[in-house]
Amino acid sequence: MPPPASHFVHRAAWLRAAVLGANDGIISTASLIAGVAASGAGRGAILTAAVAGWAAGAMAMAAGEYVSVSSQGDSEAADLERERRALKNFPEVETEELTAIYQRRGLAPALARQVAEQLMATDALSAHARDELGLGERDVANPLTAALASAVSFSVGAALPTLVAFFASPAATVVAAPAASLVFLAALGALGAWLGGAPPAKPTLRVAFWGALAMAVTAGIGALIGKAV
C-alpha cells in the first residue's frame, strides 16, 4: 500500500475540476446579481438574471467541457494511430527512439536498449504511448460525464448567491450576495487546498481576490448602466 499522500495528484485532477466549476458558478452568478441589483432593479429582475445566468453558465460549461474532452480524445486517438503505423513499418527506428528516451532518463545505453526491447515485446504500443507520448496512465475522461460534472458543479456554485438574492431584499442584495459569495469562495478555496494536500492560505486568498474583483467590476458596470438607462 502506498502512503495516502501519493494519491493527492490523482484526486486533485477531479477535485480541481469540481472546485473550478463551483467557483465559476459562484463568481459569475454573484457578479450578475450584484450588477443587476446595483442598477436599481427589483427582486423579479434580479432573480430572473440570476437564474438565466445560472442556466447559461451551466450549459456553456457543459458544452466547453464536452468539446475540449472530445477533441483531446480525438487527437490522442490520432497520435496512437500514427504510432501504431510507425511501429508496424519502422520497428527498428521505434526501438531506437524508445532506447534514446530511456537513456535520457538515466539508463546506460545497453540497459536502455534491453528495457526498450523487453517492453516492446510485451506491448509495444503501450510502451510508446506511455513513455513517448505521455498517454495511458491516466484514465481517459468520458466527454458526457465531464460535461455533466461541470454543469452540476457550476450549478452548486450558482445556487448559493441565487439563494441569497431570493431571501434578501433588493437593496440588501447588492452587498449581501457578494459578501456571502466571498465567504463561499474562501471556504471552497480552503476545502480544495485541504483535500488536495496543499497549504490553504494562498489558494483561499487568490480565489477571494479574483471573486471580489469580478463582483466589484460587474457591480460598478451595473450601477453605471442603471444611471444611464
User: Where do contacts with Zn ion occur on this chain (CB under 5 A)?
Assistant: 94, 97, 128, 132
Burial (CB count within 10 angstroms: exposed 0-12, middle 13-18, buried 19+), residue 125: middle
Nearer of residues 30 and 129 to Zn ion, judged by Cβ: 129
Closest approach of Zn ion to the CB of residue 207, in Å: 41
Closest approach of Zn ion to the CB of residue 125, in Å: 9
Residue nearest to Zn ion as judged by C-beta position: 128
**31 φ, ψ to 5°?**
-65, -45
Closest approach of Zn ion to the CB of residue 110, in Å: 20
Query: Residues near 32 by Cβ (< 8 Å), separated by ≥ 6?
Result: 49, 50, 53, 218
Q: Which three cell numbers stand for residue 47?
A: 432573480
Nearer of residues 100 and 221 to Zn ion, judged by Cβ: 100
Q: What is the DSSP letter of 39?
A: T
Nearer of residues 135 and 159 to Zn ion, judged by Cβ: 135
Closest approach of Zn ion to the CB of residue 134, in Å: 12
Nearer of residues 11 and 82 to Zn ion, judged by Cβ: 82
Closest approach of Zn ion to the CB of residue 126, in Å: 11
Q: Which of 174, 143, 160 minimizes the C-alpha distance to 24?
A: 160
Q: How many CB atoms lie within 10 A of CB 220?
A: 13
Nearer of residues 65 and 94 to Zn ion, judged by Cβ: 94
